Structure 1
Amino acid sequence: MDNVIRRRTPGARLARAVLYTVLILAVLFYLMPLVVMLFTSIKPLEEIRAGSLLAIPLDPTFAPWAKAWGEACTGMRCEGVSVYFFNSIAIVVPAVLISTTIGALNGYALTKWRFKGSELVFALMLFGCFIPFQVVLLPMAQTLGWLGLSSSRAGLVLVHVIFGIAFTTLFFRNFYVSVPSELVSAAKLDGAGFFRIFWRILLPVSKPIIVVSVIWQFTQIWNDFLFGVAFSAHDTQPVTVALNNLVNTSTGVKEYNVDMAAAMIAALPTLVVYVLAGKYFVRGLTAGSVKG
């Protein structure tokens, strides 16, 4: 047996080396655009024109980052993305919290407090996940106008909450199916009500799926452009719209380093979220995949 293991060891090591080589090459390939963006964002404009995209900066500078961060836009000219960065934060945080909370309650009610027609309700909510966003632009704009929320951050929060509920309900419903119903039945016999059971039993075991919901919603809302450009005014635009305005605004000289710095600033929050919580996202997706 020892001889067999020794004979197989070199082949296993070779296979592992090949696997790691392929993985490293794949990582380098997918990181190349990010590296190009980073290099370009810290190069002086003269160096960009004279060198290649992959050249390491010879005289690195963070002046493009400072200019990209900039100040608020005045008139039709955009001087930076700072104000719009905080607009996105003001939109993302309440939208994520509200849609995740409602999705958790919906998933709980649809699995542990089933009522007549609950499957139909879930099917309709699931259908909402597949409605193209472009189809609802006009009716949503009319609704926001009736509510007095047109061109406001509150209006964008409402839009993202409405579209997020379908996905968060799906996440939590599939997760809560794996939670034994006997726990809820026992709590009901002890006199616990709807919200007490949710708070004491369901919520403590929901950490994996909460992470999934938060990451999913955060990424979708932060990267949204369509709703941002359709339902916001000049001073309430999210960072994605401001980035588009900055890139497409020219005063005679195209500043590629400033454009790349602004793109990096806009992408940093989602990169940080995935770096810090990416492994929990995968665990949360598979946590409710097997019942029992």
Structure 2
Amino acid sequence: MNRVARYALYGVLLLAALYTLAPMWVMVATSLKSLDEIREGSLIAAPHAPTIEPWLKAWSHACTGVRCEGLRPFFLNSLLMTIPAVLISTLIGALNGYALTHWRFRGSDALFTLLLVGCFIPFQVVLLPMARTLGAVGLSDSVWGLIFVHVVYGLAFTTLFFRNYYIGVPGELVKAARVDGAGFFTIFRRILLPISGPIFMVCVIWQFTQIWNDFLFGVVFAGADSQPVTVALNNLVRTSTGVKEYNVDMAAAIIAAAPTLFVYIVAGKYFVRGLTAGAVKG
């Protein structure tokens, strides 16, 4: 590639980056401005007198409907929901993928086909049956109910990822371990788990993003005290006490999005490595 073509490519990439980052800049700049500066200044201008008061209000005492506790309790709800759901669905998906590749049984292909179908079932289809199920087991309007919902819905994806990854593991290795007397869980723990780091990162990032950003399940299945941060953010933005506080809304949106941004910044390279190591094979 000659120098002109290289510079042209860099220019296009720079414009694409600026276009992508422009909304984030507007959100950050607006969240650090006072209402007077927002009214009098430009949308993309940097704040002249930065203030963190909108952030403090969004976190601790902004109104989300009739409650004025900020996003703090709902942020905690999302953490209590997301971390267990990610870990449980990833571990069960690993066991399922292992069983479907190296401990095949009658009907395993049919079961895998059903799991694939589960990946494409719209959220809206499962709302009524899931609501009846949560009511029957006593998990309605609770964080544990949301954990259950996300584990069940995420199993199809995590099983698919792990199954396609474990196809690349030589079957002779597993057969040799069986001959040596290793059982199902011993093979999984001693042979499969040590080489599963990349695909675990793929599943953790995928599940964390899907669960943390979910709104539909949160607004349908959560009670007033178990709503995730996405539902609280919607309520905060829609709640008005006479003056629309755009700076507080922007700060709240960044707070709600911060965990997923952090995960991608810290572990994004592992996500790509996991995909290229076999997460989309087969």
TM-score above 0.5: yes
CA distance in 1, matches of 2:175, 2:128: 45
Quickly say closer, same or farther: Cα 1:289–1:70, change in 2 above 3 A.
closer
Letter in 1 for 2:112: F
1:269 aligns with 2:259: yes
1:246 aligns with 2:246: no
How do 1:1-292 and structure 2 match up within 5 A? 12-71=2-61, 76-288=66-278
Displacement over 4 Å in runs of 4+: 71-75
8 Å contact 2:71–2:233 — kept in the other structure?
yes
Q: Aligned residue for 1:4? A: none
Matched length: 281
8 Å contact 1:71–1:83 — kept in the other structure?
no
Instruction: Please give the per-residue CA displacement for 1:41-95, whole angstroms capped at 9, x wherever unaligned.
Output: 0000000011121011111100000000015968723441011001000000000
CA distance in 1, matches of 2:64, 2:245: 19
Letter in 2 for 1:102: I
Letter in 1 for 2:206: W
8 Å contact 1:79–1:246 — kept in the other structure?
no
CA distance in 2, matches of 1:175, 1:73: 46
Letter in 2 for 1:51: G
Q: Aligned residue for 1:5? A: none
Query: What secondary structure sits across from 1:114 in the alignment?
Result: coil
CA distance in 2, matches of 1:75, 1:30: 32
CA distance in 1, matches of 2:224, 2:68: 10
Quickly say closer, same or farther: Cα 1:237–1:187, change in 2 above 3 A.
same
TM superposition score normalised by structure 1: 0.94
TM superposition score normalised by structure 2: 0.97
Instruction: Please give the per-residue CA displacement for 1:131-160, whole angstroms capped at 9, x wherever unaligned.
Output: 110011111111100000000000000000
Quickly say closer, same or farther: Cα 1:123–1:26, change in 2 above 3 A.
same
What runs of 5+ residues in structure 2 fail to find an aligned partner? none
Letter in 2 for 1:278: G
Cα deviation for residue 33 of structure 1 reads 0.5
What runs of 5+ residues in structure 1 fail to find an aligned partner? 1-10
Quickly say closer, same or farther: Cα 1:75–1:53, change in 2 above 3 A.
closer
8 Å contact 1:107–1:176 — kept in the other structure?
yes
CA distance in 1, matches of 2:26, 2:33: 11
Letter in 1 for 2:120: F
Between the two proteins, what is the percent identity of the paired residues? 70
Letter in 1 for 2:146: L
In angstroms, what is the RMSD of aligned CA positions? 1.5
Quickly say closer, same or farther: Cα 1:76–1:289, change in 2 above 3 A.
closer
8 Å contact 2:64–2:70 — kept in the other structure?
no
Letter in 1 for 2:212: W
